[in-house]
Amino acid sequence: MGTRNRKPGSGADRRGGPAAVLAAYDLAKALHEAVLRFPRVERPGLGADIERACRTVLGGLVEAQMAQEKAASLRAAAVELEKLRFLVRLACDFRHVSVGQFEVLSGRIDELGRMIGGWLRWAGQPSGPCHDVS
């Protein structure tokens, strides 16, 4: 069986499962480790918001993986990923993560956004910022 008809953002890797879901899982682990190094007073606030947003993205991608109609779950995950992008930026501005950590995390968020966009295009839905996501 060839890979020609495989949908973008959902190709399996060596661990099995769609690439976008696995990228979100890896991002969740990395963000959890970063949040553990936040000042204790920030963990229940900004730290919890970051982890919650990341788990919401992961959950949306798992839903999309299992659903017949994937577009709604993918759009919701894309919106939540954009929220996550700003939360991580806040963490950097408040110096809870270093500039280097921010660059790594931002790169992962960008990569995941491209995967979700590709998956949306495969599902026949526009994925640009000017499209209605409700």
- 5 pLDDT above the threshold of 50: no
Residue ranges of domains in the chain, CATH in brackets: 19-122 (1.20.1440.60)
- 96 pLDDT above the threshold of 60: yes
User: 68: which residues sit within 8 A by CB, 6+ positions away?
Assistant: none
Among 31-35, 109-113, 115-119, 126-130, the range scoring the smallest mean pLDDT is: 126-130
Confidence of residue 110 (pLDDT cuts 50, 70, 90): very high
- 103 pLDDT above the threshold of 90: yes
- 97 pLDDT above the threshold of 50: yes
Mean pLDDT of 94-119: 94
User: pLDDT (tens digit, 9 = 90+) per residue, 32-77?
Assistant: 999 999 999 999 999 999 999 999 999 999 999 998 888 999 999 9
Distances (CA, A) of 114 to 19, 24, 35, 85: 11, 12, 24, 13
